[in-house]
């Protein structure tokens, strides 16, 4: 059976996992390769993407590593050039890199604010700046940006929420500006995913509370985000651009009062 991404070349940024396990970027890269894409695995830390590359190689997929900091314009340019040099074209860009801190505006320093904006937002502008001309050369492509439910509602972190709302904004601009070139741009807003990004800060009680916060009452993983990215990257989504797809077990259709069972008991 043909793979859903056969013949396509993809870049996944943040394709490693920041701690043990399989996060959004790693799962996405594995699924892209499983469906036939050749994948350039990008991360600041070589040992992290090496694990992803080993996983893909074991499954018989095709992927290679590129170590880069996606807040650097030069490194983003080299990243796109490397994908084209190694694989001959670029069809898919999954902008997964993102970091968070917990702080309101009275607590966050200017340096922290600028750092979050650079990593979560500027990186997308830079990678797209170089990826879009490469995609145009072959008649189009698909960009997937990873936002968060925190980009749609407050989440105890003003810098993170602001940056993730900006990810939704830049996605709409990309969709509007480059649709005529055959380039689609869509956004995923993950909910309370349990994965390497949050696991080190979590005890079992909080893990359970997060799991039961949304109507489906089950735990989300990097694979849930990866499968959404796979759909948006594939030709199955050929008529979908500019949207934000929540992957959140229904969290966004509820309200904090009704979704948190522990809070409900206190009412």
Ligand X SMILES: NC(=O)c1ccc[n+]([C@@H]2O[C@H](COP(=O)([O-])OP(=O)(O)OC[C@H]3O[C@@H](n4cnc5c(N)ncnc54)[C@H](O)[C@@H]3O)[C@@H](O)[C@H]2O)c1
Q: Which residues are identified as catalytic?
A: 160
Nearest distance in Å: CB 258, ligand X: 21
Helix crossing, 222-233 with 24-34: angle to 10°? 50
Closest to ligand X by CB, 93 or 136: 93
Per rule CB under 6 A, is residue 196 in the interface with ligand X? yes
51: which 2 tokens?
A: 């694990």
Say how many residues touch ligand X, by CB under 6 A: 32
Q: Choose the binding region for ligand X from 38-46, 84-92, 237-245, 249-257 (rule: CB under 6 A).
A: 38-46
Q: CB-wise, 13 or 235, nearer to ligand X?
A: 13
Q: Choose between 96 and 241: whose C-beta lies nearer to ligand X.
A: 96
Backbone angles phi, psi at 144, to 5 degrees: -125, 120
Tell me how far CA of residue 175 lies from CA of 102, 134, 192, 206, in angstroms. 31, 16, 26, 37
What is the number of alpha carbons within 13 Å of residue 214 lying toward its C-beta? 20
Cβ of residue 149: shortest distance to ligand X, in angstroms? 6
Please give the Cα distance from 159 to 121 (Å, whole number). 11
Candidates 180, 173, 152, 178; CA nearest to 164 is 152
Nearest residue (beta carbon) to ligand X: 98
Among residues 67 and 240, whose Cβ is nearest to ligand X? 67
In the complex, least distance from residue 57 CB atom to ligand X, rounded to whole angstroms: 18
Residue 245 lies near ligand X (rule: CB under 6 A): no
With H, G, I as helix, E, B as strand and everything else as coil, classify residue 92. strand
By CB under 6 A, the residues from 76 to 135 that bind ligand X are 96-100, 119
Binds ligand X by CB under 6 A, chosen from 69, 181, 209, 219 = 69
CB 103 within 8 A of CB 159: yes
CB of 259 to ligand X, least distance (A): 16
Residue 140 burial (CB count, 10 A): 16
| Contact criterion met (CB below 8 Å) for 35 and 234 | yes
The residues binding ligand X (CB under 6 A) are 13-14, 16-18, 23-25, 43-45, 48, 68-71, 96-100, 119, 146, 148, 190, 192-193, 195-198, 222
């Amino acid at each position: 059976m043909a793979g859903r991404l056969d013949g396509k070349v993809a870049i996944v940024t943040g394709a490693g996992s920041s701690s043990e396990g399989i996060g959004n970027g790693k799962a996405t890269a594995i699924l892209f390769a499983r469906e036939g894409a050749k994948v350039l695995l990008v991360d600041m830390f070589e040992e992290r993407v090496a694990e992803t590359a080993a996983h893909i190689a074991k499954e018989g997929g095709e992927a290679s590593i590129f170590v880069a900091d996606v807040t650097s314009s030069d490194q983003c340019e080299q990243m796109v050039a490397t994908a084209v040099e190694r694989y001959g074209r670029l069809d898919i860009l999954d902008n997964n890199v993102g970091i968070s801190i917990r702080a309101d505006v009275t607590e966050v320093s200017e340096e922290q604010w600028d750092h979050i904006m650079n990593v979560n937002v500027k990186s997308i502008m830079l990678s797209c700046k170089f990826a879009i001309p490469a995609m145009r050369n072959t008649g189009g492509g698909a960009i997937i940006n990873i936002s968060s439910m925190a980009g749609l509602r407050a989440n105890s972190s003003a810098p993170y929420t602001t940056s993730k709302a900006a990810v939704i904004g830049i996605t709409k601009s990309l969709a509007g500006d480059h649709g005529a070139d055959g380039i689609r741009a869509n956004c995923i807003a993950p909910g309370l995913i349990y994965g390497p990004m949050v696991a080190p800060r979590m005890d079992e009680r909080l893990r359970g509370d997060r799991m039961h916060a949304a109507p489906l009452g089950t735990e989300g993983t990097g694979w849930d985000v990866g499968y959404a990215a796979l759909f948006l990257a594939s030709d199955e989504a050929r008529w979908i651009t500019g949207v934000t797809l929540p992957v959140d077990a229904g969290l966004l259709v509820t309200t904090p009062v009704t979704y948190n069972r522990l809070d409900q008991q206190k009412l």
